[in-house]
């Protein structure tokens, strides 16, 4: 009892700390977690990187001198504490391996040793490196193939010994900056050189471990090496080697073809720029994971991405994992100055910050389900849902552990059936993983965490190499794990059989009974037993049920069935639960719905009715003739309301509703009718008419008048001009329809001159009886320009359901001229 109270107290603490309210499940609780969509934080093997000279001995590297003339060189490139990279919260750096001095000889041991010590400094700093061997800075080098192969072997030995801190290799060696252009062996139309390129890539792959991806500068060369027939004397690429080949774009977004990246063609044929872009969008490993994609921008902003929008879309399509922060500032400054609005879960921020957050993976927990108590040595089930808001999934493999930590003891339990490389952009589901807890776990309350450390055993204990999830209040920087709960109770000693389930309830249906019960602690499944005799004769009808509910079908209506449920785990089976009974019965026909009402709208009618007992759905029927000719317009309606759309305004529709269940369909409800119409009904718009004899208004009704000289005529816009000097003279618009639901009569009119003409006119609304209000001047004024005079329909005191006509009546013998632009109701 004391342990149970302690567990619930810790659950309350978890709610406060994580914003995660546990929802009880059959064999655990589901915790929901609050994502962090705004913070740009460090995570291994992805993000921006800075440039350094990792070989810092000037004796073997001319570029390691502070006096060098390398474009963009900074003295901090020789800083083996990597202070600038750490200040920028970057986890990657980039370095060239300058081989200018060794075009025709083996690499000296001093260079290899200095490279090794530089990689050791990377490890000490908690970073990883992207490396590119190159024979020249900007000129076109010429190095024999045999010498290049020899250097790949020499460097490959160092790379293999330090594979834990090498994030990936850029193929390098060929062309200025090692960029595979304008040099020996880089002519894309030279079929013989294609074999050399293949052999160089094959040697790089063959002299380095599978954990190191190798990226190539141009899409046309990536296609070539993946599809080229194996040259004579070479072995074909293994599937593992093919999966390691990725892409580095070193002129990202510099122009429509990224400054030659996509417009190169080759001996293989001619391809559209769009085709080659699609090749890179589609790069994937054989299991379906993203490949390594990264690079840098050129000293050009030809893509005209001043708004920082193209970079977001293109990085998402290419599944970018890393990019150079130092080069070129013409582009990185655009990103820093482009203020993006909030979108989806992304806050308002600069394009640079959004890229910093989204490069590679950005994983956040949505929820996780696991028991809040378990036995040492027993099974423990875990499942989760995550979201990846990044441009790509993790590129390199890493293990996933559940960590149980009570402050004194830490137990790491690996989830063996998970490949994090498949956690690509979007929703990520971790299906139920069942593990066995260590049998030597002391009893007590444990912190439970999800730990995604580095795949290399040499770095596994280093928290800076572990993946941090983008959630609030879950990251433990000291340990490098993500806390799921502070309160998982572990019971020491051997597991015991579960207690019998409680609160069994049974609900009868048509030839079936639905059961539910309360979960039993320690249960892994349930058995359901049934009898037709109360208290005895139970026979098992279902086993292995993992939910806390079950529906028993195929029963005989009218027969009473008695049920019990048993809980099961690896130790044994519990006793019976309480007994629950149900008597299945066929449903009866539902009664017809009542109180059907219809409300007109614009081209639609909204229906509502009173529910019928026993109904599972409703049919809606419609006609344009009262009392007959109904046709079904909707079925399977589960609410007690329905809106019929796409109707014709001005047509009256008649409706009935029927109730439905498995027994059949009821009779019709009462009939309800409505006539759809626009919210404003125009009676007459006087549109460009010059002769009002035999004219009909917008409702298709006639007009009539008793006015001096019949009427005066029309103005230049076709609006009618009424000329009257006698009391009782009028102008009449016939309506002959319902105005029910309308509120106002609107007269758009003006005086012939600014005199107060409106006080000489009244308005009549006829519903079989004339209802007169006036004068019009009581409701507004109109001078020399048209304006709306709004008269409440309620002022007439008439029946709006049967409006016959609207009449404008001259009230006295004063000469008055009235111009009317439109008459409407709303």
Cβ distance 537 to 575 under 8 Å?
Answer: no
Within 455-587, where are the H helices? Answer: none
Average pLDDT value over all residues in the chain: 90
Q: For residues 350 and 39, what is the distance between their CA atoms, to the nearest angstrom?
A: 13
Higher-scoring residue by pLDDT: 162, 498: 162
Quote the pLDDT of residue 815. 80
Quote the pLDDT of residue 313. 92
Higher-scoring residue by pLDDT: 466, 63: 466
Cβ distance 326 to 84 under 8 Å?
Answer: no
For tokens 């066995």, the residue is 436
For residues 1-20, average pLDDT: 38
Residue 66 confidence class, pLDDT cut points 50, 70, 90: low
Residue environment code for 474-486, b if the CB has 16+ CB neighbours within 10 A, otherwise e: bbbeebbbbbbbb
pLDDT digits 0-9 by tens, 505-557: 999 998 999 999 999 988 889 999 999 999 999 999 999 999 999 999 999 99
User: Which residues does residue 25 pair with via DSSP β-bridges, in sequence order?
Assistant: 28
pLDDT digits 0-9 by tens, 278-321: 999 999 999 999 999 999 999 887 666 767 888 999 999 999 99
Quote the pLDDT of residue 101. 95
Per CATH, the number for 502-582 is 2.60.40.10
pLDDT digits 0-9 by tens, 572-631: 999 999 999 999 998 889 999 999 999 888 889 999 999 999 899 999 999 999 999 999
Q: For residues 141 and 179, what is the distance between their CA atoms, to the nearest angstrom?
A: 11
Nearest residue to 681 via CA among 752, 576, 565, 602: 602
Quote the pLDDT of residue 297. 93
Quote the pLDDT of residue 693. 65
pTM: 0.63
CA dihedral over 553, 554, 559, 563, signed as positive or negative = negative
Quote the pLDDT of residue 705. 78
Residue 821 confidence class, pLDDT cut points 50, 70, 90: confident
Bridge pairing between strands 379-388 and 363-370? antiparallel
Burial grade of 186 (CB within 10 A; 0-12, 13-18, 19 or more): buried
Indicate if the pLDDT at residue 636 is higher than 60.
yes
580-582, strands of its sheet edge to edge: 539-545, 525-531, 561-568, 580-582
Q: For residues 396 and 44, what is the distance between their CA atoms, to the nearest angstrom?
A: 10
Residue environment code for 110-145, b if the CB has 16+ CB neighbours within 10 A, otherwise e: ebbebbeebbebbbebbbbbbbbbbbbbeeebebeb
Q: How many CA atoms lie within 13 A of 97 on its CB side?
A: 29
Quote the pLDDT of residue 691. 56
Quote the pLDDT of residue 2. 37
Within 228-290, where are the H helices? Answer: 239-244, 273-281
Cβ distance 497 to 573 under 8 Å?
Answer: yes
pLDDT digits 0-9 by tens, 252-275: 998 889 999 998 899 999 999 999
Cβ distance 104 to 142 under 8 Å?
Answer: no
Q: For residues 780 and 791, what is the distance between their CA atoms, to the nearest angstrom?
A: 9
Cβ distance 670 to 678 under 8 Å?
Answer: no
343 Cβ contact partners less than 8 Å away, ≥ 6 residues apart: none
pLDDT above 90 coverage of the chain, percent = 73
Q: Please give the CATH topology (third level) of the domain spanning 594-674.
A: Immunoglobulin-like (2.60.40)
CATH class of domain segment(s) 47-358: alpha beta
Higher-scoring residue by pLDDT: 581, 813: 581
Higher-scoring residue by pLDDT: 97, 743: 97
What letter would DSSP give residue 796?
Answer: G
> What are the residue ranges spanned by the domains of the chain?
2-40+362-491, 47-358, 502-582, 594-674, 681-825
Quote the pLDDT of residue 26. 40
pLDDT digits 0-9 by tens, 638-653: 999 999 999 998 899 9
Residue 469, both tokens: 């999830």
Quote the pLDDT of residue 255. 87
For residues 405-421, average pLDDT: 96
Residue 386, both tokens: 């995550």
Q: Please give the CATH topology (third level) of the domain spanning 2-40+362-491.
A: Immunoglobulin-like (2.60.40)
CATH of 681-825, one of 2.40.30.10, 2.40.50.140, 2.60.120.430, 3.30.1380.10: 2.60.120.430
Quote the pLDDT of residue 20. 44
Q: For residues 734 and 481, what is the distance between their CA atoms, to the nearest angstrom?
A: 80
Is 47-358's fold the same as 681-825's? no
Q: For residues 157 and 150, what is the distance between their CA atoms, to the nearest angstrom?
A: 11
User: Which residues does residue 413 pair with via DSSP β-bridges, in sequence order?
Assistant: 402
pLDDT digits 0-9 by tens, 188-229: 999 999 999 999 999 999 999 999 999 999 999 999 999 989
Q: What share of the chain is helix, strand, coil (3-state, %, to 5)?
A: 20, 35, 45
């Amino acid at each position: 009892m004391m342990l149970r109270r302690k567990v619930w107290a810790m659950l309350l603490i978890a709610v406060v700390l994580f914003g995660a309210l546990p929802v009880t499940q059959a064999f655990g609780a589901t915790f929901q977690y609050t994502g962090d969509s705004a913070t740009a934080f460090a995570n291994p093997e992805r993000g921006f990187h800075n440039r350094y000279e990792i070989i810092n001995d000037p004796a073997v590297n001319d570029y390691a001198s502070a006096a060098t003339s390398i474009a963009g060189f900074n003295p901090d490139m020789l800083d083996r504490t990597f202070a600038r990279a750490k200040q920028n919260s970057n986890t990657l750096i980039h370095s060239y391996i300058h081989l200018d001095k060794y075009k025709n000889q083996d690499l000296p041991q001093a260079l290899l040793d200095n490279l090794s010590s530089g990689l050791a400094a990377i490890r000490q700093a908690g970073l990883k490196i992207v490396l590119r061997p190159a024979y020249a800075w900007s000129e076109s080098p010429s190095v024999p193939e045999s010498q290049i192969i020899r250097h790949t072997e020499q460097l490959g030995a160092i790379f293999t010994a330090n594979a834990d801190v090498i994030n990936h290799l850029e193929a390098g060696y060929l062309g200025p900056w090692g960029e595979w252009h304008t040099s020996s062996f880089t002519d894309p139309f030279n079929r013989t050189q294609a074999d050399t390129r293949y052999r160089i890539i094959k040697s790089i792959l063959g002299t380095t471990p599978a954990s190191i991806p190798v990226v190539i500068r141009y899409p046309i060369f990536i296609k070539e090496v993946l599809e080229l027939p194996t040259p004579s004397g070479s072995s074909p690429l293994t599937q593992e080697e093919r999966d390691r080949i990725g892409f580095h774009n070193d002129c990202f977004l510099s122009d429509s073809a990224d400054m030659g990246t996509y417009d190169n063609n080759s001996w293989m044929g001619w391809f559209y720029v769009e085709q080659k872009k699609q090749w890179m969008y589609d790069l994937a490993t054989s299991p379906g994971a993203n490949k390594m994609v990264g690079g840098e921008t050129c000293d050009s902003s030809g893509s005209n991405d001043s708004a920082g929008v193209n970079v977001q879309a293109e990085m998402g399509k290419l599944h970018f994992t890393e990019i150079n922060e130092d080069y070129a500032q013409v582009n990185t400054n655009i990103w820093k100055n482009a203020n993006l609005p909030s979108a989806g879960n992304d806050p308002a921020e600069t394009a640079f910050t959004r890229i910093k957050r989204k490069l590679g993976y950005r994983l956040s927990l949505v929820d996780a389900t696991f028991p809040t108590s378990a036995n040492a040595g027993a099974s423990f089930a875990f499942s989760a849902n995550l979201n990846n808001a990044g441009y790509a999934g993790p590129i390199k493999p890493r293990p996933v552990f559940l960590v149980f930590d009570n402050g004194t003891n830490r137990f790491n339990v690996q989830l063996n059936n998970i490949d994090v490389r498949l956690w690509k952009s979007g929703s990520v589901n971790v299906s139920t993983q069942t593990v066995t807890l260590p049998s030597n776990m002391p009893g007590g309350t444990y912190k439970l965490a999800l730990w995604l450390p580095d795949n290399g055993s040499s770095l596994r204990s280093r928290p800076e190499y572990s993946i941090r999830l983008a959630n609030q209040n879950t990251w433990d920087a000291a340990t490098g794990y993500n806390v799921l709960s502070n309160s998982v109770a572990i019971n020491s000693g051997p597991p015991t059989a579960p207690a019998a389930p409680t609160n069994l309830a049974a609900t009868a249906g048509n030839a079936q009974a639905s059961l539910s019960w309360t979960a039993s602690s320690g249960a892994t499944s349930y058995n359901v037993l049934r009898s037709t005799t109360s208290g005895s004769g139970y026979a098992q009808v279902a086993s292995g049920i993992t939910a806390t509910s079950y529906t028993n079908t195929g029963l005989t209506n009218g027969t009473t069935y008695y049920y019990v449920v048993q809980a099961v785990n690896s130790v044994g089976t519990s006793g019976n639960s309480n007994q629950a009974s149900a008597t299945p019965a066929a449903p009866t026909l539902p009664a017809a719905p009542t109180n059907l009402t219809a409300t007109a709208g614009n081209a639609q009618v909204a229906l509502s009715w009173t529910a019928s007992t026993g109904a599972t759905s409703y049919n809606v029927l419609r006609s344009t003739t009262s009392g007959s000719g109904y046709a079904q317009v909707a079925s399977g309606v589960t609410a007690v309301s329905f809106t019929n759309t796409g109707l014709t305004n001005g047509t009256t529709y008649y409706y009935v509703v029927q109730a439905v269940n498995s027994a059949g369909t009821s009779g019709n409800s009462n009939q309800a009718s409505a006539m759809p119409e626009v919210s404003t009904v125009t009676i007459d718009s006087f549109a460009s008419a010059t002769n009002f004899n035999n004219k009909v208004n917008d409702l298709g009704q006639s007009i009539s008048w008793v006015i001096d000289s019949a009427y005066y005529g029309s103005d230049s816009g076709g609006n009618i001009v009424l000329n009257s000097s006698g009391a009782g003279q009028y102008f009449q618009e016939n309506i002959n329809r319902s105005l029910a639901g309308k509120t106002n009569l609107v007269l758009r009119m003006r005086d012939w001159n600014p005199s107060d003409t409106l006080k000489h006119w009244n308005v009549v609304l006829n519903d079989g009886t004339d209802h007169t209000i006036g004068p019009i001047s009581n409701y507004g004024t109109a001078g020399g320009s048209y304006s709306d005079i709004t008269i409440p329909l309620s002022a007439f005191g008439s029946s709006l359901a049967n409006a016959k006509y609207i009449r404008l009546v001259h009230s006295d013998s004063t000469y008055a001229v009235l111009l009317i632009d439109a008459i409407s109701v709303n």
